[in-house]
Structure 1
Amino acid sequence: MDEDRVLDDYVCVLALEDGVSIIGMTRGRDTKFHHTEKLDKGEVMLAQFTENTSAIKIRGKAKILTKYGDLLSGSQDD
């Protein structure tokens, strides 16, 4: 088992509304989308940064938990 991959940073995303999009973006010279997931309200996804994933883009209202702290995405006016 490759311990370095297991220990990479990850985030937890909790959808606060239906249709939250999570988009993984590649590393390298040209940044590209490589994976997309849709979450409905209450669904949770754990996403890990790896040698292939350098960024994660989140669209919609969600709570994001990281080892650096928690934050909210999307409009929180409701």
Structure 2
Amino acid sequence: MALKKTTVMVEEADLQAIKEAARREGRSEAEYFREAFHIAALRAQRWDDDWDIPSLDFGGPVSEEDIDAVVNDAVAGGR
């Protein structure tokens, strides 16, 4: 993938932390910034299509007590 150069203003303390981490870990500062941009880009993604999430039918409502009983049985059986 082609890289594009850009200029970004950052807090001085954040830049210093990146410089120290890059020195400590033997990575380039640019690598840290590319990673941060990638994470921000992933978080900013939105999907227009509806997700195909299956629904589960338990034959009726599930109460808090039902869930507690199943969890307690599983924990007791796992010992």
Q: Shorter chain as normaliser: what TM range?
A: under 0.3
Instruction: Report the structure, 1 or 2, having the larger helix content.
Output: 2
Higher relative contact order (CA 8 A, sep 6+): 1
Based on CA coordinates, which of the two structures has the bigger radius of gyration?
2
TM-score (norm 2): 0.19
TM-score (norm 1): 0.19
